[in-house]
């Protein structure tokens, strides 16, 4: 493959993914308070980097200009995201699985796993944070500890036993 078709390493400008799962029509873009705080902190960091680069842009090198464009694009996307999110509060009934809950389940093979149900902007399945619109989260929503749910995973149908439901800052 020609060098022209390889990707150059980014120069440190943090990219915000342009793609996110589509929300169901008519739904709000919910996020946890921790997730919203994280997005605000990322925006602050990007603005600080932009300001630092701006002071160096007097040199006006092509690299600095390209970095500024990337930062400005990331800042715009993050600002749009922050304008669209609604911070979800911890529900009154903390026995039920709802947005923000961390749910510990036991799989049919006996293995246990914990999943936190979060917004699409903060989902990170590798770290146990799943979007509230994901099939697993939808199977768990409104259930309680002790309930058993059927879930269709990529590996096939699975039965999960809900062991615990807890919320950050809450009990249960």
What CATH number is associated with residue 126?
3.10.50.30
The answer for 79, left when phi > 0, alpha when psi is -120 to 50, beta otherwise, is alpha
Please check whether residues 109 and 161 belong to one and the same domain.
yes
| Domain that residue 151 falls in | 102-166
Tokens 């996020």 belong to residue: 31
pLDDT of res. 27: 83
- Looking at residue 65, what is its pLDDT? 81
Task: Identify the segments of the chain with pLDDT beneath 50.
Answer: 1-18, 170-172
Domain count, the chain: 2
Closest CA to 119 of 165, 86, 76: 86
- Together in a domain, 129 and 78: no
Contact 47, 39 (CB under 8 A): no
Q: What pTM did the predictor assign?
A: 0.75
Residues 6+ apart with CB under 8 A from 116: 100, 101, 102, 103, 128, 129, 130
């Amino acid at each position: 493959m020609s060098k022209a078709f390889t990707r150059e390493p980014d120069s440190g400008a943090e990219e915000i993914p342009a793609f996110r799962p589509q929300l169901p029509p008519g739904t709000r873009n919910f996020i946890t308070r921790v997730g919203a705080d994280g997005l605000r902190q990322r925006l602050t960091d990007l603005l600080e980097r932009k300001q630092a680069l701006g002071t160096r842009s007097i040199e006006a090198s092509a690299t600095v200009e390209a970095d500024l464009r990337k930062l400005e694009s990331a800042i715009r996307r993050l600002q749009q995201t922050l304008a669209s999110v609604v911070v979800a509060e911890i529900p009154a009934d903390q026995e039920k699985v709802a947005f923000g809950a961390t749910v510990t389940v036991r799989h049919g093979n006996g293995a246990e796993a914990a999943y936190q149900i979060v917004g699409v902007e903060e989902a990170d399945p590798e770290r146990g944070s799943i979007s509230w619109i994901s099939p697993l989260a939808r199977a768990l929503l409104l259930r309680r500890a002790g309930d058993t749910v059927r879930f269709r995973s990529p590996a096939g149908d699975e039965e999960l036993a809900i062991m615990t439901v807890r919320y950050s800052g809450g009990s249960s």
